[in-house]
């Protein structure tokens, strides 16, 4: 990636802010997944633009008939031609982490990135090696108890199609996919961790997020109000662009590896 002088200066400033920070937190949005071939939800070419937005009462419908929901999901899993699978295709199943995901893992292993908050459900951060992470909208590869928030890998949990819905082995609550449905509250354990991490940060990387979906959209503002540095990496301007300390206008998969390389150099130069 060949940078202009202005872009080089922006990368340098961002790298110094990260290197000097005590507690860096990343907030990742759909733009990072788009670089791995997963369509965004809103906007031109977005999933919901093409097929329509999900039912705003999706969670209420699930709660009213969890058995029926599970029957449809099991049919989708068994039948490649099912309506559910046809709506979404295989883009998420086939997607792989991109250089932006791996760059965040590098920052985590260097000890600079303390936590990642992601709005994405695609599991790509974990597939890249992330360990310190909260998936505020859930993870498509997990199941979750709606009562106690017990989570387990979907492929390790046996579902009996003759005994639906499946029940939590810890509390007996109903098990569902971990992905947060329309109308479903953000799980309290996830929301509490996101708030805690935002409160602790003195530098936030805001990556590929539109800044319009709450509660995640409120975390950069919360960080800004407590005096944290904000570094935005996004192809397009967002509602927080006027507040950030540095804006890297382009894909995270291009900018984050450059930032990681420079941060490593700065840390090496100041090491005792």
- Can you tell me the mean pLDDT for 63-81? 88
- Can you tell me the mean pLDDT for 163-186? 97
Both tokens of residue 130? 């992330």
77 pLDDT tier (thresholds 50, 70, 90): confident
User: Residue holding tokens 């039948």?
Assistant: 79
Residue 271 confidence (pLDDT): 77
Both tokens of residue 114? 């303390």
Residue 87 confidence (pLDDT): 52
49 pLDDT tier (thresholds 50, 70, 90): very low
Residue 65 confidence (pLDDT): 97
> Judging by beta carbons within 10 Å of its beta carbon (0-12, 13-18, 19+), is residue 127 exposed, middle or buried?
middle
Residue 51 confidence (pLDDT): 47
Q: Where are the domains of the chain?
A: 5-38+95-140+184-270
For residue 8, give the 3-state DSSP assignment.
Answer: helix
Cβ neighbours of residue 1 under 8 Å, at least 6 residues apart?
Answer: 250, 254, 255, 258
- Can you tell me the mean pLDDT for 7-28? 98
Return the active site residues. 137
For residue 182, give the 3-state DSSP assignment.
Answer: coil
What gap in Å lies between CA 32 and CA 255, rounded to an integer? 12
pLDDT, one tens digit per residue, over 210-232 is: 888 899 999 999 999 999 999 99
Angstrom CA distances, 105 to 1, 139, 203, stand at: 21, 18, 17
Q: pTM for this structure? A: 0.92
Residue 47 confidence (pLDDT): 52
pLDDT, one tens digit per residue, over 102-160 is: 999 999 999 999 999 999 999 999 999 999 999 999 999 999 999 999 999 999 999 99
Residue 54 confidence (pLDDT): 63
Does the domain at 5-38+95-140+184-270 match CATH 3.40.50.1220? Answer given as yes
Query: Is the CA virtual torsion 193, 73, 126, 251 positive or negative?
Result: negative
């Amino acid at each position: 990636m060949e940078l202009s002088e202005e872009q080089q200066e922006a990368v340098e400033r961002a790298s110094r802010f990260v290197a000097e920070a005590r507690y860096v937190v990343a907030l990742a949005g759909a733009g990072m997944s788009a670089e791995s071939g997963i369509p965004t939800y809103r906007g031109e070419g977005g999933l919901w633009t093409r097929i329509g937005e999900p039912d705003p009462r999706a969670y209420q419908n699930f709660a009213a008939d969890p058995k029926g929901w599970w029957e449809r999901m099991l049919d989708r899993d068994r039948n490649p031609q099912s309506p559910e699978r046809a709506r979404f295709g295989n883009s998420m199943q086939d997607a792989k982490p991109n250089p932006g995901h791996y760059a965040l893992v590098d920052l985590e292993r260097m000890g600079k990135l303390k936590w990642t908050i992601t709005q994405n459900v695609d599991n790509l951060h974990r597939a890249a090696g992330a360990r310190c992470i909260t998936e505020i909208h859930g993870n498509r590869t997990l199941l979750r108890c709606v009562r106690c928030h017990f989570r387990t890998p979907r492929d390790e949990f046996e579902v009996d199609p003759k005994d639906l819905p499946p029940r939590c082995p810890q509390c007996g609550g109903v098990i569902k996919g971990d992905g947060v449905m329309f109308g479903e509250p953000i799980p309290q354990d996830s929301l509490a961790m996101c708030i805690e991490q935002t409160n602790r940060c003195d530098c936030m990387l805001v990556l590929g997020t539109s800044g319009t979906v709450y509660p995640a959209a409120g975390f950069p503002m919360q960080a800004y109000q407590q005096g944290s540095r904000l570094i935005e990496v996004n192809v397009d301007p967002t509602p927080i662009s006027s507040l950030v300390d540095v804006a890297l206008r382009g894909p995270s998969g291009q900018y984050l590896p450059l930032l990681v390389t420079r941060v490593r150099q700065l840390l090496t130069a100041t090491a005792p």
